[in-house]
Structure 1
């Protein structure tokens, strides 16, 4: 995380709005914040921590944090912190809290908003999770960015597991931790190997004599299949002929019925023709 700018108002000794431009300092690669005791050096780091995580090292929620952080002459406290994360994206974290006008010691819950700089505008985010943006939990942020006085020894004496987890989180080393993936692949391969070995056990008693016997049986079965197939094809041809003959017989039966009907009509027509000829002769006479 690279700090860009910090705006303070109504925080500890910073009653009036103050802006700290870190860009002119970070260009040198190394800088320090100096001043006498009580001049507000720690307040700068504490304001950054509170803007990002809503947590501070010196005060917790039980210590009436917001009341003690607010300048006694102020009715409003405001922190605005601009920074660039490891992905080279620019963000802004803001926290604001106000004093209850009817009760001097009652300070309302801070309102927090995170923004991202896009297209020359600050776009509000739908969350205020600094860990998601910075890539550090508050605990590791304290250990790596803000080390309180007297706690450097604790930082050095972290347990192996805590130190490993912290380094993984800070430097994104999770992608190099292949133990779980390798274990899963190894377990999967072992399971598949066991299944194959179980399937192959059924062939332990197979020998050349059994294979030759099975080959002879296969030949016999293939010959039977060929004979049955030949018989089937002959039967199929006979079936086709019988089916065609049946169709021809049905057609012949229909033709005969039609012929008998036409024969009956012919007798009536012959009689009608005779009568017509007789009528014609009589008509001419």
Structure 2
């Protein structure tokens, strides 16, 4: 994911609308965000996380500025390489509830085409949240553990159990088809074969007590009886 532009208003220390043009910042490659404590450095990263997933990474819903009743975020980003770039825009609006927490009042995700026209991909919070996971391939938890790392989140990643860490890395590197998807495919195949075996074993119950010796003896008697039957039929004729 490559950030292009971020617009914030009413979020934490940003009352008036502020614009961060990442395309200008990233033109020389590496860049840094510097400022005094409380100046709003973390809010820029929080705004990206909220725009993407509708939540803040620091376990709080009280992120609307105390002098504002609402907050607005607009975030434009790109996915893909130079041969297959796709640009998206997320807009989310929040209103302060009576308890002081932020509630989503509007969410929309659009794709920006080469001719600068836009087409709507999803509207409303739940639909936008799901569409973002499909586009980026990361859940909110993955995003805050691998892309935007708040304090303590990297150590949290290191302390994940093997299965959760493996699932997260599968999503990050798009390896689900070799991990969870393949495991699920094998499980379904195995379960199907187990059912086939059970059906076969139930069918074999009617032959319980049968052995190769009994089969050979019975087959020999059948052969003798068939020969006797032919002789008797000739005599009858």
Normalising by structure 1, we get a TM-score of: 0.60
Cα distance in 1 for partners of 2:106, 2:229 equals 84
What residue in structure 2 maps to residue 164 of structure 1? Answer: 166
Task: Tell me the alpha carbon deviations over residues 159-194 of structure 1, each in whole angstroms, 9 at most, x when there is no partner.
Answer: 223212222332233211334433443454455456
What residue in structure 1 maps to residue 18 of structure 2? Answer: 18
Cα 1:180–1:23 shift into 2, 3 Å: same
Give the alignment of 1:1-285 within 5 angstroms.
1-26=1-26, 30-58=30-58, 60-61=60-61, 65=62, 68-70=63-65, 72=67, 76-85=70-79, 88-97=85-94, 109-118=104-113, 120-124=116-120, 125-126=122-123, 127-129=127-129, 130-177=132-179, 178-189=182-193, 191-192=195-196, 195=200, 198=204, 201=207, 204=212, 205-207=214-216, 209-210=220-221, 212-213=223-224, 215-216=226-227
Cα 1:215–1:3 shift into 2, 3 Å: farther
Q: CA deviation at 1:44?
A: 0.7
Runs (5+) with no aligned partner, structure 1 = 228-285
| Number of residues of Structure 1 aligned to a counterpart in Structure 2 | 215
Cα distance in 2 for partners of 1:217, 1:10 equals 102
Cα 1:82–1:198 shift into 2, 3 Å: same
Cα 1:161–1:99 shift into 2, 3 Å: closer
Cα distance in 2 for partners of 1:215, 1:174 equals 62
Structure (1 or 2) with the larger CA radius of gyration: 1
CA contact (8 A) 1:14 1:71 kept: no
Cα 1:221–1:206 shift into 2, 3 Å: farther
Q: CA deviation at 1:81?
A: 0.5
CA contact (8 A) 2:94 2:103 kept: yes
Cα 1:121–1:43 shift into 2, 3 Å: same
Structure with the larger helix share: 1
Q: Which has the higher contact order (CA 8 A, sep 6+)?
A: 2
Cα distance in 1 for partners of 2:50, 2:71 equals 12
CA RMSD of aligned residues (A): 3.8
Cα distance in 2 for partners of 1:99, 1:40 equals 20
Cα distance in 2 for partners of 1:135, 1:54 equals 16
Pick which of 137-146 and 182-191 moved more.
Answer: 182-191
Task: Tell me the alpha carbon deviations over residues 61-97 of structure 1, each in whole angstroms, 9 at most, x when there is no partner.
Answer: 3xxx2xx43263x565321001224684322111124
Q: CA deviation at 1:122?
A: 1.9
Q: What secondary structure does 1:15 align onto?
A: coil
Cα 1:190–1:151 shift into 2, 3 Å: closer
CA contact (8 A) 2:14 2:65 kept: no
